[in-house]
A and B are shown apart, each in its own frame.
Chain A
Amino acid sequence: MIQFFKSIPFHMRSAVKSLVRHLVMTLSAASAVMVTLVLLAAFLMIAGNVSGFTNHIEDDIRIHAVLGEDIVSEEQLQTAKAEIEAIEGVKEAELSSKENELKLWIAEKGEIFSIYEGENNPLHNAFFVSVNDPDNIAAISEDIISLDIVDDAMYGGNSISQLISMLNTVRSGIIIFVGLLGFLAIFLISNTIKMGIYARTNEISIMRNVGATNSFIKTPFMIEGMIIGLLGSVLPCIGAYFGYSYLYKAMGGQLFSNVFAFQPINPFVFEIIGILVITGMLVGILGSFLSTTKYLHWKR
């Protein structure tokens, strides 16, 4: 281990020398990393915010189950709650009394309805039913309607659940795309490193001859790959920082309404930058690891 740290200057020198010597290849590999990371950054921003949105929206997806007129006693309400909660996929049923229903009604439709307060309240008791998986909301709603005690059941509409599944599709699409680009970047890096290896076959064969270990021979190439990865991550990081800050400020921190509130700049962008730098380095190390290992194991 001590030996390893002592030889770091040696490795750094040969890595930098080789990078400069193959400047064009270095730049092309670094730009492949860059493109990958730009997309990764976009993906992370979308994914991070989408999961924020979905959490907000999922809270709002509840079935409003209005009970029959005759369900009024405490005991009946308890039974109704139990019956609804027994349906598969139901997370919780929360009572909303007649009075509460009217309040919501007034809040939504206007003060004029306040004349129904008290004895004249025409509304029924109801439950707000939350579900485990928003995808099943339609089926659960049917089940609730089919109960005798329930008059009617409504939920926030198809549009929201469609939005969620659309966002999920976008998310997995980007994952696949980023994965493919990652492969491309690894391939380009390993090619760049291969050039470096061929330029130094002589040196490597001497190293092998005098008994340099495989890891010693590999280290400068791994450093080289790492530097390529780092070079490739510089612009995406800067872009991510300014791009997200700009968007955040331009849109006022939210999309359309505060249901779609953006993740705050401070931890979010820096987390993304951290991920980008680490990914860039790992991609670089992996690429050079693949080509050096292949080269070294070709011979004894």
Chain B
Amino acid sequence: MILLENVSKSFKNGVHALRDVNLYIEEGEFVYIIGPTGSGKSTLIKLLDGELIPSSGRVVVAGTDVGKLRHSKVPLYRRNIGVVFQDFRLLPELTVFENIAFALQVIGLDKVTIRRRVREILELVSLEDKAKSFPRELSGGQQQRATIGRAIANSPRVLIADEPTGNLDPEKSQEIMELLEKINQEENTTILMVTHDSNLVDMNKKRTIALEEGYIVADIQKGGYIHHD
């Protein structure tokens, strides 16, 4: 599903964000990406969703060579990928229902389909009773569930979660974890989760990829957080 071949990315200011990264992630996998700030995690995400072009090497997602996409084709490619952010990024003047529907409106689905799909999603993320609430009326965990709902609304094949639990307390974090696992299983979505949260990684053991200074320093199938001295 995701293939990185000898991928390097350096910026004009001389920063080498990624160096010769090789990575293969199967369809339906659930993978953690861990590493300290500045280790290249954000760059990796931006390469995957087409925002950046690798300086060398190939990034292939769902059969598309992402680095070779034309500017106008990037949006179509992006419909394969859902992204969840630490800071939610819900539209404050829209209700939860409208926020999720928004993701479907902008790709031009018709009203009936949108309504049906949004109901499904609300059920999946357990926000049926909050459909008419505005983001400010929700708790952090609920907001993050709404964001996840929006990210998976158009059934992307890959879901990238950039520190989805960064702003949440441990209890709510576990709730989000369970939701992501459910999506992973029920929709067979490949999930990449970038995180700092060592407890979470230790509690829910999955394949863990550790980045440091742009290198992959560990790729552990059985999982667990790698602690530094």
With contacts A209-B83, A210-B103 taken as known, whether A7 is within 8 angstroms of B108 at the C-beta atoms is yes
Q: Is the CB of A211 within 8 A of B53?
A: no
Q: Is the CB of A300 within 8 A of B52?
A: yes
Out of A4, A205, A211, A297, which one reaches B107, CB within 8 Å?
A211
A297 to B74 alpha-carbon distance, docked (Å) = 11
Out of B75, B77, B89, which one reaches A206, CB within 8 Å?
B89
A272 to B78 alpha-carbon distance, docked (Å) = 47
Q: Which of B79-128 contact A (CB under 8 A)?
A: 79, 82-83, 89, 91, 102-103, 105-108, 110
A216 at interface (Cβ–Cβ under 8 A)?
Answer: yes
Where chain A touches its partner, the secondary structure class is: helix
In the assembled complex, the CB of B125 is this many whole angstroms from the nearest CB of chain A, namely 16
Best-surrounded residue of A4, A205, A206 (most CB of chain B within 10 A): A206
Q: Is the CB of A210 within 8 A of B91?
A: no
Q: Mark A189-207, 1 if CB is under 8 A from B, else 0.
A: 0000000000000110111
A106 to B36 alpha-carbon distance, docked (Å) = 108
B108 partner residues in chain A, CB cutoff 8 A: 3-4, 6-7, 216
Q: Is the CB of A206 within 8 A of B91?
A: yes
B151 partner residues in chain A, CB cutoff 8 A: 209-210
Q: Is the CB of A202 within 8 A of B89?
A: yes
Supply 16 A–B pairs (Cβ within 8 Å), ascending by A. A202-B91, A203-B91, A206-B91, A206-B150, A208-B75, A209-B78, A211-B75, A211-B79, A211-B107, A212-B106, A213-B75, A213-B76, A214-B71, A216-B75, A216-B108, A300-B71
Chain B interface residues (CB < 8 Å from chain A): 49-53, 71-72, 74-79, 82-83, 89, 91, 102-103, 105-108, 110, 150-151, 153-154
Q: Which 5 pairs show the lowest CB-CB distances between chains A and B?
A: A211-B79, A212-B106, A3-B108, A210-B103, A211-B78
